[in-house]
Structure 1
């Protein structure tokens, strides 16, 4: 249960103000079909979380405990730094003429693939024999961060101060990454 909660909290922080939220809100505005967007989001997220957790469980058998902890530290450092240092624009997929569910599923799957949350889920999965719990925690974290974006759409930025939340989340992830990395090196 600790793995699920830790992964949930980490991924939730990593997704605040992230491109997944923005694309989901844009698609909800475009299609005006929350059910289809949420279904596409859920399917894309479930698949990505399963891939990440399964990958982490494979990494677990290849690396020593120290290297796994270093991998986790690096995953958190890059997640935090990414939130603090840069922000790439989101392609609104306006050229895609597919139905709402398919656009949401494919667009969000592609956007989430290789994202910081996938590395956090993989790192958490590698640190425990309960890799499925890392997938569940990651799924709930992404959904908890993104569902309000679909429901609130353009009002999300007006209601929720995304920039300060992004800075605080980034700083927390960066700090946790440094703690893990220094512990892996025996510094602390």
Structure 2
């Protein structure tokens, strides 16, 4: 249960104000088909979360506990730093001539591939024998952060103060990462 909750919370924080939210909202504005956008988002997120969790479970079998903690610490440090740094603008995929579902699935799959949440899910999977819980936690964390962006679209930024949330979330992820990294070296 720890893997599920900690992965959910950290991925949810990492996705607030992230490019996944922005692209999902832009696609919802463009197509006006929430169901198709949400289905594409769900499939893309499930695929990426499954790849991450499977990769993390393999890492767990190859290396000992200290390097796994260091990997987890670095995943959180880079996620936190990424939230605090300047970000590139998101391509709204206006040149893509595919139906809503395919555009959402392919666009969000590509955008999420190698993203900070994928590394957090992999790190959490490597830290526990219950990698399926990390998969579920990561999937639900991304979905919980992104569904409101699809449903609320541009109003999300008016309702939720995304910039302060990004700063607080980034700081929390950095702190969590430094704690894990110091544990890897036996400092704390």
C-alpha displacement of 1:174: 0.4
Counterpart in the other structure of 1:64: 64
- The structural deviation recorded for 1:88 is 1.5
Aligned to 2:92: 92
- Correspondence 1:132-171 to 2 at 5 A: 132-171=132-171
How far apart are 1:86 and its partner, in Å? 2.1
TM-score by length of 1: 0.99
| CA-CA distance at 1:2 after TM superposition | 1.0
Q: Distance in 1 between matches of 2:88 and 2:113?
A: 15
Q: Deviations over 1:98-148 (max 9, x none)?
A: 000000000000000000000000000000111011000000000000000
* TM-score after normalising by structure 2: 0.99
Residues 14-33 of structure 1: pairs in structure 2 closer than 5 A = 14-33=14-33
Q: How much does 1:187 deviate?
A: 1.2
- Counterpart for residue 110 of structure 2: 110
Spell out the pairing of 1:34-73 with structure 2 (5 A cutoff): 34-73=34-73
1:7 corresponds to: 7
Task: Indicate whether 1:174 and 2:162 are aligned.
Answer: no
Q: CA deviation at 1:40?
A: 0.2
- In 2, the alpha carbon distance for the partners of 1:20 and 1:163 equals 15
Matches of 1:180 and 1:15, distance apart in 2? 20
Poorly superposed stretches of 4+, deviation over 2 Å: none
Q: How many residues align?
A: 188
In the alignment, the residues of structure 1 paired with residue 58 and residue 186 of structure 2 have an alpha-carbon distance, to the nearest angstrom, of: 25
1:87 Cα offset (Å): 1.1
SS at match of 2:95: coil
Q: How does 1:70-89 map to 2 (within 5 A)?
A: 70-89=70-89
CA displacement, residues 26-73 of structure 1 (integer Å, 9 cap, x when unaligned): 000000000000000000000000000000000001111000000000
Structure 2: gaps (5+ residues)? none
